Amino acid sequence: MEKEVKRQIGYQYQVYSSSQSLVPLADAKAGAIIGANLALVATLINAPFFYEKFSKVTAAGDGRASALILLAFIFAAVSIISILSAVMVLYPRPSKAGGKIHPARLTYFEHIFACHSAERYLSRVNDLDDAAILQEMCVQNYELSAILIAKYKMLKTSLTTFLANMVIWALLIFKVFNLNL
For the cut 90, the answer to whether the pLDDT of residue 181 exceeds it is no
Phi, psi values for residue 147, rounded to 5°: -65, -45
Q: What is the pLDDT of residue 37?
A: 96
Residue 160 has pLDDT above 90, yes or no: yes
Mean pLDDT of 135-140: 85
Q: What is the DSSP string of 106-152?
A: SSSHHHHHTT-SHHHHHHHHHT--HHHHHHHHHHHHHHHHHHHHHHH
Parse the chain into domains and list their residue ranges: 2-94+104-177
Give residue 42's pLDDT. 93
Name the residue with higher pLDDT: 155 or 127.
155
pLDDT at 100: 55
